Structure 1
Amino acid sequence: MDFLTSSVHLHITTWVVGIVLFLIAALSGKQSKGLHMALRLFYILIIITGAALFFKYSSADAMLYGMKFLFGILVIGMMEMVLVRQKKNKPTGMFWGLFAVFLFITFFLGFKLPMNINFLA
């Protein structure tokens, strides 16, 4: 299982693909079951790679890693809520807002923690 924690690249790849799939599914006019199921697969991959990184590196700053893990789960939850409520033709504005806030907090914590990628160096 060392390939999950040798670097953060696998985790970053899974959440980038997950966010792109979510935006395609949410902003396209029609609902696609296959796309939604693929997105759910990426939810699982995001959680598995994130959990592996969490258990390996959380001793460095346990509280911040725990908060990032929690907010990451909340981001996934808001993504799913937006898609399910869109399918049922219910309002999604609050969930889009929560998605944006939780995503910002998760990115902020991810770049603040020691296991980050320094884009400026």
Structure 2
Amino acid sequence: MMQQTFDLRLATLAERYRTGKTTPRSVLADIRQRAQALNPEFRLFIHILSEEEQEPFLAALDDLSPAALPLYGVPFAIKDNIDLAEIVTTAACPAFAYRADQSATIVAQLIALGAVPVGKTNLDQFAT
């Protein structure tokens, strides 16, 4: 049975991190579990990052205070026509799939501010 996800509004999440009531690892594990459970029915994600794929992003936060970065531990999803380094981008067309060498600028900026990617979301083929 899945856990009850708590309020994921930015202010609430920041407060829970600041007070030690939760951690980015816990939040992302819960989101990953829910996404994996619901994805077969709803097909929201083309790719959900595994624990191993999320580890570098979470490890970067380990020694930081939640106040150190404005988006510390904030989960976000990436449309699958936008690149995340080392993850396959398909634009919902597997025949045109490629592994991105680097993240798109906006994705890199979100990560630099402390946000953590959850996965690549579904879309109509080649949607812009």
Q: TM-score, normalised by structure 2?
A: 0.35
* Structure number with higher helix proportion: 1
